[in-house]
Amino acid sequence: MPAYAVGIINETRLNDDIRTYLENIDSTLQPYEGRFIIHGGPYLWMEGEPSGDFIVIEFPNFEFASHWYESPAYRAIKPLRTANSIGTIFLVQGVSSSHHATDILV
């Protein structure tokens, strides 16, 4: 099943370090078959208050996602983001295409 790296970025200081991070992140994703499926807006907020920019990167499975996050290539550029942005990052397992909302009740 697919897995996702999700970021909710509340604040970013656009500078040379962030530019370098953005210029290099795609190459860190390639060995793990990661791809951006959401990277910012535009948004149409339906409920609640906006809390930041939303980023989602899809991977074939949770193992690929976690190996990407811990990879030497990503760890090398990660400080460029963490020093210049505030947000929440997490990995989450996707569900199968046959998933129904009631499956969590079992």
Tell me: the pLDDT tens digits for 71-95?
Answer: 999 999 999 999 999 999 999 999 9
Q: Which tens digits make up the pLDDT trace of 34-58? A: 999 999 988 888 999 888 899 999 9
What is the structure's pLDDT at 50? 81
Mean pLDDT of the chain: 96
For the record, the structure tokens of 36 come out as 């951006």
pLDDT of residue 41: 84
> In this structure, are residues 6 and 89 in contact, taking their beta carbons and an 8 Å threshold?
yes
7 neighbors 92 (Cβ within 8 angstroms):
no
Kindly report the CA angle at 33 between 50 and 28, in degrees rounded to 5?
A: 75
Q: Evaluate whether 53 touches 37 at the Cβ level (below 8 Å).
A: no
Beta strands in the chain (DSSP E): 3-12, 35-39, 53-59, 85-93
Residue 89 has what pLDDT? 97
Q: Is the pLDDT of residue 16 over 90?
A: yes
| Model confidence at 25: pLDDT above 90 | yes
Q: Where are the domains of the chain?
A: 11-45+65-96
